[in-house]
Structure 1
């Protein structure tokens, strides 16, 4: 995959950032050259109605309620699909019909990369008051506090982390890092989750290359569980759980997919999804994107692009996946940054569905042997890419 880190001094590359504001009050972060302006007229947007959280009294977990998300724009169904109307023809959804392309409602001008506050959020910095609870003693309600942002990788309508040029993927890593640093600095943020849903198979409503970021005011259940596991391991064994996982992945050649100097790339020991792969930082102390050195940032970009290339070569089509980045919560020094991929496929035309047992119990049943799926990904042999001259830019604010 990527050339190993050389440790040599690299030139500094800068990426300008400008902060604009939609007439409705939502922020837009434009990276690179500013090629236009937002309109100055328009009504200020109101918080989505009925946005709130409800506590499940039996599990103690929160459920976010956001009916306004049903109004999200969606890529038209493909002709011949079950949802397509009779007589539908295949037309691109770029331009005015794609809200993420230049000329759409989010960005009326051309751009390199951009981030905007989601107009259909599940979380808001200033959410409306929640409705009254039926029984506040066992099942209270609460405001849906947090942030929801959309990250546009490129203005090009067709593409992915696999098809973007290495310099563009490096720019995406820079944008992620910039937004991560800003959000972690907010006093009310307890967790930052960068993620991407690619493909109709995982429910993506728009095909334009993009991801999202959620910033929570509390630790979501799975993040809290991981944090507790790290603390318990440190207390019992006086070493780092993240370092142990990295060592285990390095020692299990049959689970490895690829690797470079800064990251392991492996099917985990106990994957929930057949082709699940984790890209994990090797260095102790690299818990967040903002902790990475320049070489580590470049190696992350290389590892992500290489993995998506492997996914797309596996069954000779663009493989849908869910991708999440797990950064270290506050006061978690043993946490290693990871990007985790969850494709729904278990074969060329077979999907792994989270069915009754998994949904009801949380116990996942994997229909494949992890070592077998790792071998399949290893054997895809994506074309070699020279990353030696690629530099992940440093973002600077421009007024």
Structure 2
């Protein structure tokens, strides 16, 4: 982090630790080669490193096998892959998909595309009073027609943590599959996909202190094996002829073309970094900063807070009479970086009756001093706007 800056936008993308930068530099500098193709030693070594990263991902999220972990560009691509390879082949007209009011656009738009194409309906779970997904409402509204439930494990706006196992139990009792968007979760809380009992899990590397352009889709082995690919090219094939092509088994089936090799190495380093600190310690650290930030904001009568008290690393708020963009601009003048806008969650903003919020989000590198700088910036905003 540049000296003198309070970076409070980790929910958008995390700053990178030196070990990740070093892994990326090494990957391009002294060890770079293609994977899965070369017979020479350097390529073989890079292939081993690439697949070791897949094994590391599997251990990190509790997957039964590395082959359940597909490397994608990010959570957005992972959700689109499930939409195009599972939903399009498994759903039929009259089926329904269940989402929630607080979903990121990446967990809304792909399902709308499926709905338009397949004649599928979409229903929306409301929120509790403190802006978390209302699982009691989910249990009451789910029906046999619902074949898929897709929910955020942690909200990128409110920081609300989903009781994911309960959501899975509700979905499975009604014969539905559950996809979890884990973008905001994997860097903040321990994730075990088997214990959560979900069917698909997606996350992006850049929110986990890793590089951009790399992410993971985890899926149950039997689901991945039944899914056709949606991209064709090198590495995803078994045998190609002009008469017929057969495909490789998962995960290769879904990884057409030359992959983001060095991004995978950076993701491996990022997971090691996070595990070295410990997700329990990270969550406790971020929770303390959230509590401090919420207490500071309560000192201003004009501030409205959103989300539950026990949120994971994220605080969203509004100041009466001040546009969030103005809040962000004034804080920036004091070297405090926050996010201002709809956070790719316009339906949630509509439900809250506001166009946007300001959002402070914390990471392992933040300190109580950053919260103090944030509070000083908010005090300046209220002074300027009276």
Q: Which TM-score tier does this pair reach, normalised by the shorter chain?
A: under 0.3
Q: Which has the higher contact order (CA 8 A, sep 6+)?
A: 2
In terms of fraction of residues, the more helix-rich structure is 2
